[in-house]
Amino acid sequence: MSATMSASPKTVQQPPTLLVNNLQISYGRGVSKVTAVRGVSFEVARGETLGIVGESGSGKSTTVLGTVGLLPSAAKVSAGQVIFQGQDLLNAPATSRRNLLGAEIGIVYQDALRALNPVMKVGKQLQELLRAHGQAKGAAQEVVNILQSVGIPDPKLRARSYPHEYSGGMRQRALIGMGLAMTPSLLIADEPTTAVDVTIQAQILSLIKTLAREHNTATLIVSHDLGVIANMCDRVLVMYAGEVVEQGPIDQVFADPKHPYTKLLLQSTPNINAPAGGRLAYIRGQPPSLVGKSQGCAFAARCYAREDRCEVETPTLESITNQQGTNQHDSACLRVQASAGVLPELPKTWLEATDTASNPTSAQPPQVQPTDDSTATSSQQASDVILSIKDVSRIYTSSALLKHQQRRITAVNQVSLTLHRGETVGLVGESGCGKSTLGRLIAGLERADAGHIFYCGQGKQGQGKQQDVSKLRGLALRRYRREAQMIYQDPRSSLNRAKSIAQLLDEPLRQQGMSRTVRATRSRELLNMVGLPTSALKRRPDAFSGGQSQRIAIARALAVGAKLIIADEAVSSLDVSIKGQILNLLKSLQTELDLTLLFISHDLSTVKEVCDRVIVMYLGKVVEVASAQDLFAQPTHPYTEALYSAVPIPDPELERTRQHIILAGDTPSPANPPTGCAFHPRCQHGPASTRGRGRCVSESPELLEHLPGHYSACHFALTYHQTEANKAPSSQDVQTHDVQSGTAG
């Protein structure tokens, strides 16, 4: 991937639509003053898409909101200049700024549920926008047109609905409609797809792209997701700790980063297209505090290429001339600047060292002590079945006075699967597919309404002992729960904030009847194992960052002596750099302690990176099971195929040529699933687009082994692609219903 092929195709001639110069934004005042944005400059021109990428706290959202004057009242723009179409936005009178906002500048927010007024009909919220900008006449009809243009079915009726009556995807579409209603010359999208599922994300991204292209809009996209940026942008701005560390054409930055942070960010981002397995790079330590003034490079403390002067000299963004002499790539790395654009290589040792070693307070290597005599299990017995699930169902019934009014939601529908000792199994699917419910069933926290969950634990003598979890009660059930521990998504909610870490770790140890001194030693050991200093014991959960809290949650699971760990979206709320730390920790603990890991996630790239086998769920059913490698290389279920294609890859070149299958509509409600194959209404190869597939509507497919070790629940598992010409993927996104015209020929 050399940079030669991908010089930016367009040269910017006209004056930029938006020009931001040395923007500084701070919160609070006095000693607790936080400077969130520290001198950011950029420009966007018509027809161009600029991406701003960074982790949480990097100041990327604050930057764009500050640009258009939508900061919360606690924040102040303390310096800088914002020129929009030749007009100074920061010093413009309120009325002229109001006239621009919503009309010339459209904004799409992160979470449509929160961004829309819950007590006002969606149509009305659009109408008032049109009215405010002088389009009172025919506004009602215009609203329907707008909703139609963003693909909302039955727009006339939908205009009279409230936001909560929309599905997540529809709400986001309505918000996009609002942002683009007045055909603005600048569109700002702040994490526009963070709150939606991946198949909906594909819809939304394609919609923004199409509409922006249509109106030749200047687009500014903020995202933490390198894949989204690669998919959407022409140029990219990388932010860290309130500063721009790198800027340039998307292909150059991704292929040939000129800042160590960008390089590490790229390396620590899981790529669904890369071969499975192996360890992710990660960034050591924590982002710096933004309180007060800093000296030196903000990234120095976490940087692999750090030199002494990085701590004292503050770098500025400077253009790096690459070999081709094109001059569009800026970097704020002193070493790169000094060495004529050469970024030092990532040292090999970087990936191997755990960050425990970098932590002086816990220098001694972690002591691994298997909690009981279960050392008999080893890797040779990897094919041992630890858990086998047969036809498990879980049905939620809403309470109602009358029987026929009850709503029954089948969250898990006759699922069967097996977990082997010591393996890592991924459980993926979009929200509402039942994956978390299945996780709780396995953990013994909920009881299955039908079916069996057989757990083969270690008996007292090391013999296998099989028990049906779904039948356990009382003490036996509580004993089982200790064997299967969950790690939850929200680290803040999974640790009791009323207890100190010592108390949290002590509780499970005391249950095992350990003496006080043994417990104290063991607690320290456990903290060492998860890479935290023992000084953490005295503190309470709210003193820790998200990643640290997850480490504590893992330590607690180990303290109980868990054999099976169910990680339910355990890294989903963490930043990329921290995510890598936690994943690597889990993987190394797994091999050391011979744990079985069920990794529940919506994030396919991560699942592919860490899992041996992957289970795909859709609407409460398992639709495909295969090894991580096979699953994405040769999906035998159209849903998996669509999921895979919908995940944006952090590689702009590939992303441009890749085929994106865009499924129609939203995931149906599990309360009222479609007949036959639950996926058939959205299926890109299903009856809606392909003749002769009526079977999908009438008959529910069984999960069958179509290839060795590769199961799928599709009537046409191996043959569904055959109706479609196996041609080279086009650069256009493929809409579900467009497939029909493609297959007709």
The interface with other proteins within residues 17-76 (CB under 8 A) comprises 27, 32, 34, 36, 56-57, 59-62, 65, 68, 70-72, 75
Q: Does residue number 539 form part of the binding site for other proteins (CB under 8 A)?
A: yes
Q: Does residue number 160 form part of the binding site for other proteins (CB under 8 A)?
A: no
Rg (CA), the chain: 27
Q: Does residue number 136 form part of the binding site for other proteins (CB under 8 A)?
A: no
Closest CB 741 distance from other proteins, rounded Å: 38
Cβ closest to other proteins, residue 249 vs residue 547:
547
Query: How many C-beta neighbours within 10 Å does residue 286 have?
Result: 15
Say if strands 385-397 and 484-487 run parallel, antiparallel, or are unpaired: unpaired
Closest CB 118 distance from other proteins, rounded Å: 6
- Where on the phi/psi map is residue 421: left (φ > 0), alpha (ψ -120 to 50), or beta? beta
Contact present, 58 and 40 (Cβ < 8 Å)? no
Q: Does residue number 478 form part of the binding site for other proteins (CB under 8 A)?
A: yes
Q: Does residue number 535 form part of the binding site for other proteins (CB under 8 A)?
A: no
Determine the 3-state secondary structure of 52 from DSSP: strand
Residue of 23, 52, 174, 178 interacting with other proteins (CB under 8 A) = 178
The torsion of the CA quartet 668, 672, 678, 681, rounded to 10 degrees, works out to -50
Residue of 129, 212, 226, 628 interacting with other proteins (CB under 8 A) = 129
Between CA 141 and CA 129 the distance in angstroms is: 14
**Site stretch for other proteins (CB under 8 A), options 350-358, 543-551, 675-683, 699-707:** 543-551
DSSP secondary structure, 179-215, as one string: HHTT--SEEEEESTTTTS-HHHHHHHHHHHHHHHHHH
Closest CB 729 distance from other proteins, rounded Å: 34
Residue of 209, 215, 447, 540 interacting with other proteins (CB under 8 A) = 540
Between CA 555 and CA 560 the distance in angstroms is: 9
Q: Does residue number 128 form part of the binding site for other proteins (CB under 8 A)?
A: yes
Cβ closest to other proteins, residue 63 vs residue 331:
63
Contact present, 616 and 705 (Cβ < 8 Å)? no
Measuring CA to CA, which residue among 568, 632, 638 is closest to residue 605? Answer: 632
Token pair listed for 355: 């960050």
Cβ closest to other proteins, residue 132 vs residue 514:
132
Contact present, 216 and 209 (Cβ < 8 Å)? no
Q: Does residue number 132 form part of the binding site for other proteins (CB under 8 A)?
A: yes
Contact present, 121 and 202 (Cβ < 8 Å)? no
What residues have CB less than 8 Å from 225, skipping those under 6 apart?
53, 193, 194, 648
What mask, x for binding other proteins by CB under 8 A, covers residues 89 to 118?
--------xxxxxxx-x-x-xxx--xxxxx
Contact present, 566 and 557 (Cβ < 8 Å)? no
Cβ closest to other proteins, residue 93 vs residue 118:
118
**Could you tell me how many residues make up the chain?**
745
What mask, x for binding other proteins by CB under 8 A, covers residues 548 to 567?
-----x--x---x-------
**Site stretch for other proteins (CB under 8 A), options 232-240, 476-484, 610-618, 687-695:** 476-484
Closest CB 217 distance from other proteins, rounded Å: 16
Residue type at position 490: D
Cβ closest to other proteins, residue 2 vs residue 493:
493
**Site stretch for other proteins (CB under 8 A), options 375-383, 534-542, 632-640, 658-666:** 534-542
Token pair listed for 199: 């198949």
Q: Does residue number 404 form part of the binding site for other proteins (CB under 8 A)?
A: no
Cβ closest to other proteins, residue 106 vs residue 687:
106
Residue of 308, 348, 517, 542 interacting with other proteins (CB under 8 A) = 542
Measuring CA to CA, which residue among 647, 448, 609, 493 is closest to residue 597? Answer: 609
* Count of residues that interact with other proteins, criterion CB under 8 A: 87
Partners of 559 in beta bridges: none
486-525 residues near other proteins, rule: CB under 8 A:
486, 488-490, 493-500, 507-508, 511
**Site stretch for other proteins (CB under 8 A), options 349-357, 417-425, 437-445, 607-615:** 437-445
Contact present, 291 and 620 (Cβ < 8 Å)? no
Residue of 159, 202, 441, 443 interacting with other proteins (CB under 8 A) = 443
Q: Does residue number 209 form part of the binding site for other proteins (CB under 8 A)?
A: no
What are phi and psi for residue 333, nearest 5 degrees? -110, 125
Cβ closest to other proteins, residue 582 vs residue 714:
582
Closest CB 477 distance from other proteins, rounded Å: 8
The alpha carbon of residue 670 and the mean position of all alpha carbons in its chain are separated, in whole angstroms, by 23
How far is residue 398 from each of residues 242, 445, 451, 621, 668, measured CA to CA in Å? Answer: 47, 19, 21, 21, 18
Token pair listed for 259: 């800042």
Closest CB 309 distance from other proteins, rounded Å: 25
Q: Does residue number 289 form part of the binding site for other proteins (CB under 8 A)?
A: yes
566-595 residues near other proteins, rule: CB under 8 A:
none
How far is residue 539 from each of residues 491, 532, 547, 594, measured CA to CA in Å? Answer: 15, 12, 15, 30
Cβ closest to other proteins, residue 100 vs residue 662:
100
619-678 residues near other proteins, rule: CB under 8 A:
none
